[in-house]
Amino acid sequence: MNTSLFVARRYLFSKKSRNAINIISGISMVAFAVCTAALIIILSAMNGFESLIFSIYNKFDPDIRIAAVQGKTFDPTLINTTKIKNLQGVLYVMPVLEDNAAINHGSFQTVCTVKGVDSGFIRMSGLRDRIVAGDALLQYDSIPFMIMGAGIDYQLNTNVEGIQSKISLVTPRRGDFNVTDLSAISQLNIVPSGVISMDEVINNKYVLVPLFFARELFEREKEVSSLEIRLKPGADLEKTKIDIKSICNDKFLVKDKFEQQESLYKMFKSEKWASFAILTLVFIIAAFNVVGSLTMLVIEKKKDILTLKSMGAENSLIKKIFLSEGMLIAMVGGVIGIIFGVVLCLFQEHYGFLRMEGAIVESYPVKVFFTDVILVVITTVSLGFLTSIYPAYRSAK
């Protein structure tokens, strides 16, 4: 065993010595353990909430969306959709017509975004799992039905599982709009079939209708707002996106699922690293216990230092002893904290002992990433090294 490490280990784990220095060293070790465990738990919790939110959005948003650079709609025949469908990773391509409308039910009214989709949308998106009332039905024979977000359902005071009165969707007709001219308004009635509950934005914004109904409401015979593309499991998202871009011209914008919710992704990332930075500052303050305990140890072991020097030990060896002492405190505490944090998160991930009553999931979501564990290890080792430099330097004087 390395001489400096052997001496440092004896100083730290000596059974004969139970003085204040050992107690402070123990407190420093506990501080490292608590801080590393907290870092693991907080980062894993942020990962869990991020994964939860985007698993919800992935049901509603496509893997890739094609939209016009200018204007709200475009003619889909301008894009070679057959070529896109034949790409290796593409599962299906779906035309979508989306626009805003007023929605009325009796004396209740609000504004919503009407999303017209084809019959395959429910099956391919997995939205059936998010139905909280009624059925996931958009069309029966030639009769259109509507699925609404839970927030809109609440605002309109509807009851999709009871006897239904029709709901009105109202939007201005294309061309010049005159509020005094009723013929300038397009209005259609539709019966709601189900209610979906996802996140707050979708719940309070969207209603889903068949594409042919949306075309009639918005008076768009051929145009679409976007082409939504779902990929096969295991498909290379980036490669498929590049292939689709090569098929579309520069008049069209091709976005993957991350770019569609870019601001949300950035918000989660910034919150995660802000939390990490705050906890690291707390960690730095706690790590100063190591400086105090090592400085006191240097003072106590002056006789040992002189004895080692008289035996021919160089200053570099003395420094290494106390540097190793600080690193041992950091590493032992860090390992304990990491093991505790990872085990706690894995138990929560698989057994969900910490519950979330009345939420969209039964338990608090957590997800341990190996990269986060490595980051915490690097942070722990770095702080252990930095807080040991001054006492180690002083020991050689």
Which conformational region is residue 66 in: left (phi greater than 0), alpha (psi within -120 to 50 degrees), or beta?
beta
Task: Verify that 339 and 384 share a domain, yes or no.
Answer: yes
Domain match, 254 and 369 both: no
Is the domain of 111 the same as that of 237?
Answer: yes
State the DSSP string of 127-165.
Answer: GGGGEEEE---SEETTEEEEEEEHHHHHHHT--TTS---
Indicate if 223 and 300 belong to the same structural domain.
Answer: no
Judge if 255 and 282 occupy the same domain.
Answer: no
Looking at the structure, do residues 234 and 275 belong to the same domain, yes or no?
Answer: no
Q: What is the pLDDT of residue 397?
A: 62
Residues 245, 110 within the same domain: yes
Verify that 175 and 298 share a domain, yes or no: no
Same domain, 41 and 77: no
Q: Taking residues 97-107, report their average pLDDT.
A: 92
Q: What is the pLDDT of residue 356?
A: 74
Last residue of one domain, picked from the residues 260, 276, 299: 260
Query: Is 386 found in the same domain as 299?
Result: yes
Whether 111 and 212 map to the same domain: the answer is yes
Per-residue pLDDT tens over the stretch 107-147: 899 999 999 998 788 887 778 888 888 888 898 888 999 99
110 phi/psi in degrees, rounded to 5? -160, 180
pTM (global) more than 0.85: no
The more confident residue out of 163 and 302 is: 302
**Residue (of 221, 225, 202, 203) closest to 212 by Cα position:** 221
* Domain end residue (candidates: 242, 260, 278): 260
Residue 380 to residue 5: CA distance in whole angstroms: 18
Task: For residue 363, report the phi and psi dihedrals to the nearest 5 degrees.
Answer: -135, 160
13 and 121 in a single domain? The answer is no
What is the pLDDT at residue 96? 94
Which residues constitute the domain of residue 201? Answer: 63-260
Give Cα 182 distance to the centre of its chain. Answer: 46
**DSSP E strand stretches across 150-270:** 167-172, 185-196, 206-210, 226-231, 252-256
pLDDT at 373: 94
What's the pLDDT tens digit per position in 40-57?
999 999 998 888 887 777
Q: How many domains does the chain have?
A: 2
Domain boundary at 229, 260, 291, which?
260
